[in-house]
């Protein structure tokens, strides 16, 4: 597990994944934990028995684990997956890859690295949600198509953040959510320019079926190709009166990339 922790930290440094060992209550004779950690760097904890029932609080009362289970937790310390290392020896390459992928998938689902956690609708992270954010997304999906947003291998990420929906997949649904948000703020009077400004997005293709768009956007299709999108809303052309970040979106995405909690603890190595 030391090897796996090191690989995850080196290959996916932006993902917060931590593997921790937990020893069963009653299996801790003098020096046993020190012996277990003698040649390892993985953090090691000792389970207890706070209610006096002679059973491990975490091992049995909370998770009811089997010897050598790896328990995958989300950011709320809820169990999301279990992988037993007796049945799946990590010395087998395929098992090692499966264990690694389970941890990465759990981290991606919880942390959503390709979403702007300050405001999921603000694709270019400039502090405003405007038709330009829609244009950025359409131009990219036209050039590269809908796709999985893979686990990042860099130490930091920068805009554009395409995963508005938070499913780690960039698709027309993400574009639709930004459009619906812009329409909503316009209807509520967030954009205050006196003149209506139509933004024309010409000759952009989406290589997948396009969902129905809201009434404020007029979409011209030709053989599953978006030929033009007219954004009918009041917008200041300078962008100074653009819809600001929404309070609701800020609440929905309160965890920043820099302050992810201690999420993915995995329990391994019970007393031998």
What is the full per-residue pLDDT of the chain (272 aa) written as tens digits?
Answer: 999 999 999 999 999 999 999 999 998 888 888 888 888 899 999 999 999 999 999 999 999 999 999 999 999 999 999 999 999 999 999 999 999 999 999 999 999 999 999 999 999 999 999 999 999 999 999 999 999 999 999 999 999 999 999 999 999 999 999 999 998 865 554 433 333 323 333 333 333 334 333 334 444 444 334 444 444 333 333 344 455 554 444 444 444 333 333 333 333 333 33
pLDDT for res 202: 30
- Domain-by-domain residue ranges, the chain? 2-111, 128-245
CA distance 266 to 21: 7
pLDDT for res 79: 95
CA distance 210 to 172: 6
Axis-axis angle for helices 93-111, 2-11 (nearest 10): 50
162: left (phi over 0), alpha (psi -120 to 50) or beta: alpha
CA distance 89 to 240: 59
pLDDT for res 220: 44
Strand (E) or helix (H) holding 96? helix 93-111
Measured distance between the N- and C-terminal CA atoms of the chain, rounded to whole angstroms: 15
Q: pTM for this structure? A: 0.71
Residues 6+ apart with CB under 8 A from 3: none
Whole-angstrom Cα Rg for the chain = 24
Helix, coil or strand: residue 10: helix
């Amino acid at each position: 597990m030391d090897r796996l922790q090191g690989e995850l930290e080196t290959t996916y440094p932006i993902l917060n994944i931590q593997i921790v060992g937990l020893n069963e209550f009653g299996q801790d004779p003098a020096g046993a934990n020190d012996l277990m950690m003698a040649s390892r760097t993985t953090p090691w904890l000792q389970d207890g028995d706070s209610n006096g029932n002679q059973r491990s609080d975490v091992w049995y009362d909370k998770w009811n684990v089997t010897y050598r289970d790896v328990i995958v937790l989300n950011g709320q310390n809820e169990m999301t997956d279990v992988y037993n290392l007796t049945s799946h020896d990590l010395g087998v390459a395929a098992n090692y890859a499966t264990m690694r992928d389970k941890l990465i998938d759990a981290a991606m689902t919880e942390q959503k690295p390709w979403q702007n956690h300050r405001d999921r609708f603000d694709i270019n992270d400039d502090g405003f949600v405007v038709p330009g954010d829609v244009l950025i997304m359409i131009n990219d999906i036209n050039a590269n198509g809908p796709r999985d947003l893979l686990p990042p291998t860099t130490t930091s990420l920068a805009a554009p953040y395409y995963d508005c929906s938070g499913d780690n997949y960039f698709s027309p649904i993400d574009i639709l959510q930004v459009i619906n948000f812009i329409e909503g703020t316009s209807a509520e009077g967030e954009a205050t320019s006196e003149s209506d400004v139509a933004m024309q997005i010409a000759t952009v293709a989406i290589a997948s079926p396009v969902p129905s768009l809201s009434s404020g956007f007029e979409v011209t299709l030709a053989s599953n190709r978006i030929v033009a999108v007219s954004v009918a809303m009041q917008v200041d052309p300078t962008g100074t009166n653009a819809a600001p970040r929404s309070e609701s979106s800020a609440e929905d995405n309160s965890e920043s990339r820099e302050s992810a909690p201690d999420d993915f603890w995995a329990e391994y190595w019970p007393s031998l």
